[in-house]
Structure 1
Amino acid sequence: MPYLRIHFTEVDLGRTRLASRIDHMWEIVNAVQLLQHREGGLYFDGWRRRVRQEAFAEPRLQRLLHTLLPIAPHAEYFPDFLTPAGEFDDLDDALDAVVSVPKPRLRREMALLGGESAPLRAIAGGGAPALRGLRAALGGFYRVAVQPRLAVVEAARHADLARRLHTLGHDGVEAVLTGITPGAVWEPPVLRLPYVVDSDLLLAGRGLRLVPCYFSLQRPVALADPALPPTLTFPLDPTTRLLAPEHRPGDHLGALVGTTRAAILRLAMDGCSSRELIRRTGVAPATVTHHTTILRDAGMIATHRDGTVASHHITPLGLQLLHRSG
């Protein structure tokens, strides 16, 4: 089995960090690739059907996919410039970074991609019309395929991030690293991950940015160019990737379990201590204890203790209830 071997120094362990917000470009690229195979049907078949039905009915979406499928293939390589390093405030900033790539790098990465289609040759040439077209295709695909699920994506990411931060606080960075994917092995100072090709990544003091992705499915992915800021993306915990149906507006959860328990369940999405629950719900400590006990006994939250501090985190069952209740 091929592996990606990531070589850490002590400095790198201190500089390893989890992305705190959605990475729009990684989600777009992963979503484009999901349309090119049938795996992950439990999570994504309904999403695929909707996007394909819209593409069949809407010529403009067909043109977007005609541009994007060749440049983000479901393959061992796609150009790094599609997923610029760093965290961006919004999608427009990320798209600007994509089309602002230096021309020599653009030509080099497009040459590695190969392909002789007219859209690919035009993008490789770096002309303004071709790059504007690529920007429009990426943004248009996001609005059709990602944005309608954005609330679900964010909820799943928050639940996944809360779990990993809890692991970091209780078990340390090594537990976070080995929890990235099944088969991950920590052999200090090297993290070994099952990968599509044998490869080594030397961090050399630069640290590592970890990016959990909703539309990622199969394996971790690193940037192809080891000279770029080290980034590793990987699938969310499968239990948090819930494609929930649309709901009528209203606080259905509050009507079902009561407003205080509903508030506690929502706060537990990001992890919340008992003291913080008391402050943010405005109820008495005994009342918070009563409600967290009921939610925990029902399997909706999990409680972890560190000395005298209790922290509460939503479970997959609680997250599913939250989504299905709108």
Structure 2
Amino acid sequence: MGAVRFGVGDLAQLRFAVSPLWETVASLRAAADPGRHAVHLPWIKQALTVREDRGELLARLAGFVPPAPRCPLSEIEEELALLAARPGPAGAPDAVLAWWRAAVRPHWPRIRAVLEADIAYRTRQLAEDGIQEVLARLHPEVRWTGDRLVSQGLPAGEARLDGTGITLVPSAFAARCRLLEGSGGTPPSLVYPARGVGTLWERHCGPGEGLARLLGRSRAGLLARTSSPATTTQLAVRTGLSPGAVSQHLAVLRDAGLVTGHRYGREVNYRATDMGLALLGDGDGDGDGRA
């Protein structure tokens, strides 16, 4: 059992981030232990056909723990460049990059959409219920007591933030919470299992014919892919449309009140509104997007 002690200044410096480096390393370890990661079996079966040398890659990552992410929306090339500049991780950047290109990058838009949906949920929870409620509900094994976050997944003893703040990092491949040490002005990070991972590898049906006739097949397809937050670039990759065409269709859907856009860092994430979800036949009826 471990704990992280927060000061008042630490609570004020809580951030969120997505780390493709962490996800790549965690996904490789998940592929090596499919029994513990049954939810990812559809992906694992495919990943192992494109890279059969996972044992060799894992050996090169023995004892390697990814550093805490330095900014909310890093690309993996940025994270690997920082990693290569650190002493010690010989061979790790090459092993990570090999697995990323073969097994993770083709699915990254889908994975990232799940992570961004989790962040959108947590930030809404932050606005409605406060920081302590966000921390207390990160995972069933996590408890918030007084000024401490307590979990069986944290290192034994008590870590003090001492004004550095902390970055919360949702993960599609993490089985439990994990604390990543900060360095060089980078605050520590708490990796936690993201919501909605059970739907990650589901085959989603396209919009119904009626909706396609009403909106046009391209716009109906875009609307269907905004049930979780997505950027223009991500939607272009998923639909095969050009970014310009996606932008034009999103403008029409936004003017009709079917999607809304929210800026997160340097990007705008588009998500279906309650009306858009109703047209898609989203069954939960509350439009809050909870997985």
TM-score scaled to structure 1, two decimals? 0.65
Kept after mapping to 2: 8 A contact 1:299/1:315: no
Residue equivalent to 1:46: 42
> Counterpart amino acid of 1:18?
F
Q: Distance in 1 between matches of 2:251 and 2:76?
A: 36
Partner of residue 282 from structure 1, selected from 228, 245, 255: 255
CA distance in 1, matches of 2:277, 2:169: 33
CA distance 1:48–1:154, change in 2 (3 Å): same
Aligned to 2:228: 269
Tell me the matched-pair count: 252
Partner amino acid, structure 2, of 1:269? S
Deviates more, 1:204-213 or 1:185-194: 185-194
Please state how far the C-alpha of 1:291 moved relative to its aligned partner.
3.4
In the TM superposition, residue 295 of structure 1 has moved relative to its aligned partner by 5.0
Secondary structure, in 3 states, of the residue corresponding to 1:162? helix
Counterpart check, 1:253 vs 2:249: no
The superposition leaves residues 179-222 of structure 1 with CA deviations (integer Å, 9 ceiling, x where unpaired) of: 11103211121111122642321010100100001122x21111
The 1:45/1:268 distance shift into structure 2, 3 A limit, reads closer
Q: Which moved more, 1:294-303 or 1:190-199?
A: 294-303
Given the alignment of the two structures, is residue 291 of structure 1 paired with residue 291 of structure 2, yes or no? no
The 1:291/1:35 distance shift into structure 2, 3 A limit, reads: closer
Residue aligning to 1:70: 59
Which whole-Å CA distance do the structure 2 matches of 1:279 and 1:53 have between them? 41
Q: Deviations over 1:241-298 (max 9, x none)?
A: 5114599xxxx32746353776666555349xxxxx999622379xx99935845984
Q: 1:90-169 maps to which residues of 2 (within 5 A)?
A: 90-101=75-86, 103=87, 106=88, 131=90, 133-169=91-127
Look up the equivalent residue of 1:230 and give its one-letter code: P
Q: Distance in 2 between matches of 1:29 and 1:223?
A: 13
Q: Work out the CA distance in 2 between the residues paired with 1:242 and 1:198.
A: 32
Distance in 2 between residues matched to 1:226 and 1:188, nearest whole Å: 26
Partners of 2:194 and 2:96 in 1: CA distance: 22
Q: Distance in 2 between matches of 1:25 and 1:180?
A: 21
Which structure has more helix as a fraction of its residues?
1
Gap regions ≥5 residues in structure 2: 231-249, 259-271
Q: 1:84 to 1:16 in 2, by over 3 A?
A: closer
The equivalent of 1:314 in structure 2 is: 289
AA in 1 matched with 2:145 = E
Over alpha carbons, which structure has the higher Rg?
1
Q: What's the counterpart of residue 83 of structure 1?
A: 67
Read off the aligned partner of 1:98 and give its amino acid letter.
L
Q: Is the 8 A contact 1:268 1:301 kept in 2?
A: no
RMSD of Structure 2 on Structure 1 (CA): 3.5
Structure 2 residue identity aligned to 1:233 = V
8 Å contact kept, 2:3–2:154: no
Quote the Cα distance in structure 1 between the aligned partners of 2:46 and 2:277: 40
Q: In the aligned structure 1, how far is the partner of 2:198 from the partner of 2:44?
A: 19
Task: Say whether the 8 Å CA contact 1:220–1:234 is kept in structure 2.
Answer: yes
Q: For residue 282 of structure 1, what is the amino acid of its counterpart?
A: D
TM score, norm. by length of structure 2: 0.72
Specify whether residues 197 and 294 from structure 1 end up closer, same or farther in structure 2 by C-alpha distance, changes over 3 A only. closer
Tell me the percent identity: 20
In the TM superposition, 1:165-184 aligns within 5 A as 165-184=123-142
CA distance in 2, matches of 1:225, 1:90: 18
